[in-house]
Chains A and B, each alone.
Chain A
C-alpha cells in the first residue's frame, strides 16, 4: 500500500514558466513533509520541507503548499530553469510517533525544463 503517491511520472515545462509537482498521502499520522531532488547517478538532495503546523513554506524559487484536509502537498518552482530538470521525490515522516525521522517516499516525478 503506497502511503505517499506522486501520480504524475513526468512533467515538461518551458523555461521561465511555473512547475507544479503534486503529492498525495494517506497516513494521517504524517506531520512532516519534504521534497528531494535527484540527478542521474547521484543521491537525492534535500530541497525544502514543511511541518504540518504550516500550510506554506518558501525558499527562493521553491514553495511548498500543504493542504492537510485533502492530504495533499505541492511544490511550485518559479521561474523554472533548465538546471531544475531532475526527478523530484516527495517524502513524509511521522515525527511525533517515534524516535526517528524515517522517511516514506513517493515514486517520483521526472521534471524536464525545456529551454
Chain B
C-alpha cells in the first residue's frame, strides 16, 4: 500500500525561485495537511484541507499557497522561496470528524533554500 506519497524527496532552491511540492494519498481520506518540521520546533501546521474544495490556514501559512486538486491530491506552493523556508515538509491525510482516525504521513521533502 502506497499510503501518502510526496514528491520530490529532496530539493535545493535559490532564494526567489518557486516550486510546488506534490502530495497524493490512496486511502480515500477527506482531510489532508501540510506540516513543516524544524529543529526544536516540532511539527507545525502550514495549511490543511478538511475536504475536497476547501482549504484553511494553519499555524504558519505565510509564504505558502495550497491547492486541493481533487480528493487524492494536495499541493503546496512556494511562490518566492526564502532561506527561512528551509525545512522538512510532511504531507498527511486523515478521515474527518466525527471519525477519530489518526493522520498518516508521507516520507517528507527535505527543502534547502540558498
Residues of A within 8 A of B (CB): 4, 6, 9, 32, 34, 36, 41-46, 49, 51, 89, 91, 95-96, 98-108
- Give the complex CA separation of A91 and B90 in angstroms: 15
Residues of B within 8 A of A (CB): 4, 31, 33, 35, 40-45, 48, 50-51, 58-59, 90, 92, 94-108
Name A4's closest neighbour in chain B (CB-CB). Answer: B42
| A-B CB contact pairs (8 Å), 24 listed | A9-B40, A32-B100, A42-B108, A43-B4, A43-B92, A43-B106, A45-B105, A46-B104, A95-B100, A98-B97, A100-B31, A100-B51, A100-B96, A100-B97, A101-B101, A102-B31, A102-B33, A102-B58, A103-B45, A104-B59, A105-B42, A105-B43, A107-B40, A107-B41
Q: Which residues of B contact A41 (CB under 8 A)?
A: 107-108
Q: Which residues of B contact A99 (CB under 8 A)?
A: 50-51, 96-97
- Give the complex CA separation of A41 and B91 in angstroms: 14
- Residue with the highest number of chain B CB atoms closer than 10 Å, among A45, A95, A101: A101
Is A104 a contact partner of B48 (Cβ separation < 8 A)?
no
Q: Which residues of B contact A89 (CB under 8 A)?
A: 42-43
- Give the complex CA separation of A35 and B1 in angstroms: 23
- Give the complex CA separation of A99 and B32 in angstroms: 12
- Give the complex CA separation of A91 and B101 in angstroms: 13
Is B90 a contact partner of A51 (Cβ separation < 8 A)?
no
- Give the complex CA separation of A9 and B41 in angstroms: 11
CB distance from A8 to the nearest CB of B (A): 13
- Give the complex CA separation of A83 and B41 in angstroms: 24
Is A107 a contact partner of B31 (Cβ separation < 8 A)?
no
CB distance from A109 to the nearest CB of B (A): 10
